[in-house]
Amino acid sequence: MAKNSDISASVIKRLPRYYSYLEDLIEENAERISSKELAARMKTTASQIRQDLNCFGGFGQQGYGYNIKALHNVIGSILGVDKEYQTIMIGAGNLGKAVTSQISFEKKGCRLTAIFDIDPDIIGQTVAGIKVLSIDELEKFCKENLPSIAVLCLPKDNTFSVAKKLIDLGVKSFWNFSHFDLNLHFDNIIVENVHLGDSLLMLTYKTQQ
Amino acid sequence: MAKNSDISASVIKRLPRYYSYLEDLIEENAERISSKELAARMKTTASQIRQDLNCFGGFGQQGYGYNIKALHNVIGSILGVDKEYQTIMIGAGNLGKAVTSQISFEKKGCRLTAIFDIDPDIIGQTVAGIKVLSIDELEKFCKENLPSIAVLCLPKDNTFSVAKKLIDLGVKSFWNFSHFDLNLHFDNIIVENVHLGDSLLMLTYKTQQ
DNA sequence: GAATGCTTGTTAAATTCTTGACAATCCCTT
DNA sequence: AAGGGATTGTCAAGAATTTAACAAGCATTC
């Protein structure tokens, strides 16, 4: 069994997919699944699934397959959803609201506790049960609650300065929805840039083929 | 020069990234860029950029680099943004609104002409200058306007039946934001499933490492 | 409880992808 | 107009990834 840090990026990228399909299977009350069956659902190969899962140890049983709940738990724990990362969102425009209500932060180990905005019309609104605070309260809030993840849903121009401020306040990881790549030159700061538009371009590409 | 259909998926997936960085460069009024410089910005290697671009023919010049606008145009045309795909959106909740206002459909060869919803409170609203119509008008609209792309921002349970209906009405491609994989068993129907949550899981994974 | 049939973990081969290297060639300066 | 410097296109080596194959082992049936 390899150490986690030896796992290739290609494998890691597939883990959330497995996780999601296993969640569906749990909802369907299925108990077990074979690599063959899962591969058919996911449109991949059984070989790849077995190879991937084996990076983390043998969870399956010959002649039986994989126990869905157990495998779901293991992958979840590899991905870190059993943690409790304090999470904040910056920006409560359309995008911030959509992300807040669409994503199950709780299920992913993220406790979304505050949303900040600069627009007086938006401050005070409630999104998915969370009140939108003024950006002026950001510093105080961070000092008291020490969030480690920040979701950035604000205009391009402000993103960089807000991110820098948040790093000073102890934020370690950024989920960036501004449509440019946030490139912070700090060690140990983790950024995931979301490229929403890219997949539409993939669609137009495939559509014309 | 290889035929487009020979281009590997890995290369294609990087094209939207190049496209986006070139757009930034145009905004900065830069005229030319070398593979080395672009690689530094994008945190990749010059070799890969040259290899990728060469799949489509030699756009660069020795000793000079690449003309930014020309390259932007070429990649855009490879991706199909010079088409005019009639596009509709189904679902004008938080997510539909966010996607409508966040994505530059026009810039990507997609003409978003109508949004449909089932909720009487939402029907009649205007999102990014487009009026939200009742889902009851969907059939009539499609027969008159023949959209080829549909963006699906509606609840999981309704997605499949709506998609099937749209296929009957001539829609060829789907950009699916429902958080499960839309798996249509039809030939020539193209689906891009957006997995928003996956990148948050990647973030929690990296954060715990 | 033995036999049959599945399905895994694992190995090795095949394929694909990435990187490094360099000749060819174009720009730019003088 | 010639020479120096830069940068491409391309080839080939090296890595990484994916696929195929199969022995080992468990479940299920009879």
Q: What is the CATH number of the domain that holds B70?
A: 1.10.10.10
Count of all residues that appear for chain A in the document: 209
Say yes or no to pLDDT of B59 above 80.
Answer: yes
Please name every residue paired with B130 in a beta bridge, in sequence order, or none if there are none: B127
**Claim to verify: residue B98 and residue B23 sit in the same structural domain:** no
| Residue A117 bridge partners (DSSP) | A134
Q: Is the shortest CB-to-strand distance from A47 to strand D under 7 Å? A: yes
Token pair, residue B84, equals 């005019």
**Domain end residue (candidates: A50, A78, A106):** A78
Question: How many domains does chain A contain in total?
Answer: 2
- Looking at the fold, whether B57 and B142 belong to one and the same domain comes out as no
CB contact under 8 A, A200 and B103: yes
pLDDT at A3: 44
CATH number of the domain within which B100 lies: 3.40.50.720
Q: For residues B186-205, give the mean pLDDT.
A: 95
Structure tokens at B27: 């905004």
Whether B206 maps to a domain, the answer reads no
Positions on chain C within 7 A of a protein C-beta: 5-12, 16-21, 24-28
The two structure tokens encoding residue A178? 């501004």
Q: Under an 8 A CB cutoff, do B201 and A98 touch? A: no
Beta carbons within 10 angstroms of residue B83's beta carbon: 15
Q: What is the tens place of the pLDDT at every residue in A138-186?
A: 999 999 999 999 999 999 999 999 999 999 999 999 999 998 999 988 8
Binned at pLDDT 50, 70 and 90, residue A5 comes out as: low
Residues of the domain holding B47 = 4-78
Chains A, B: CB contacts under 8 A, how many?
A: 177
> In this structure, are A12 and A54 located in the same domain?
yes
pLDDT tens-digit series, residues A182-209: 998 888 999 999 999 999 999 999 999 8
Q: Is residue B142 included in any domain, yes or no?
A: yes
B51-72: burial string, b at 16+ Cβ within 10 Å, e else: ebbebbeeebeeeebbbbeebb
Helix, strand, coil percentages (3-state) for chain A, rounded to 5, are 50, 20, 35
Q: For residue B5, what pLDDT band results from cuts at 50, 70 and 90? A: low
Give the mean model confidence (pLDDT) for residues A4-19. 90
**What SS3 class is residue A153?**
coil
A95 Cβ neighbours under 8 A, 6+ residues apart = A153, A177, B98, B101, B102
At which residue do the structure tokens 């790093």 appear?
A167
Q: Are residues B109 and B58 in the same domain?
A: no
Rg (chain A; Cα; Å) = 20
Print the SS3 string covering chain A.
CCCHHHCCHHHHHHHHHHHHHHHHHHHCCCCEECHHHHHHHHCCCHHHHHHHHHCCCCCEECCCEEEHHHHHHHHHHHHCCCCCEEEEEECCCHHHHHHHHHCCCHHHCEEEEEEEECCCCCCCCEECCEEEEEHHHHHHHHHHHCCCEEEECCCHHHHHHHHHHHHHCCCCEEEECCCCCCCCCCCCCEEEECCHHHHHHHHHHHHHC
Angle at B154 (CA atoms; ends B151, B159), nearest 5 degrees: 85
> Does residue B156 share a domain with residue B104?
yes
Indicate whether A126 and A173 sit together in one domain: yes
* Residue A12 confidence (pLDDT) above 50: yes
Which bases in strand D are touched by protein, i.e. have an atom under 7 Å from a CB?
Answer: 4-12, 16-21, 24-28
Domain check: are A12 and A73 in the same one?
Answer: yes
Nearest Cα to Cα of residue A206 among B56, B5, B170, B75: B5
Same structural domain, B173 and B73 = no
Do residue A166 and residue A128 come from a single domain?
yes
Which of residues A78, A105, A132 is at a domain's end?
Answer: A78
pTM for the model: 0.94
Q: Rounded CA gap, B183 and B67, in Å?
A: 41
B73 and B9 fall within a common domain: yes
| Whether A44 CB is under 7 Å from strand D | yes
Q: In chain B, which residue's Cα lies nearest the Cα of A127? A: B94
Q: Which of B39, B60, B78 lies at the terminal end of a domain, its last residue?
A: B78
Establish if A166 belongs to a structural domain.
yes
Q: Are A140 and A159 in contact (CB under 8 A)?
A: no
Of the ranges A57-61, B149-153, B178-182, the best mean pLDDT one: B149-153
For residue A120, being part of any structural domain is answered with: yes
Q: Are residues B49 and B90 in the same domain?
A: no
Same-domain status, A192 and A173: yes
b/e code B120-137 from CB counts within 10 Å (16+ = b): eebbeeebeebebbebee
Instruction: Using alpha carbons, select from A207, A73, A21, A58 the residue that is nearest to residue B80.
Output: A207
CA distances in angstroms from B55 to A82, A209, B8, B23, B26, listed in the order given: 44, 16, 9, 21, 23
Average pLDDT, chain B: 94
B203 CA, C4 C1': separation in Å?
47
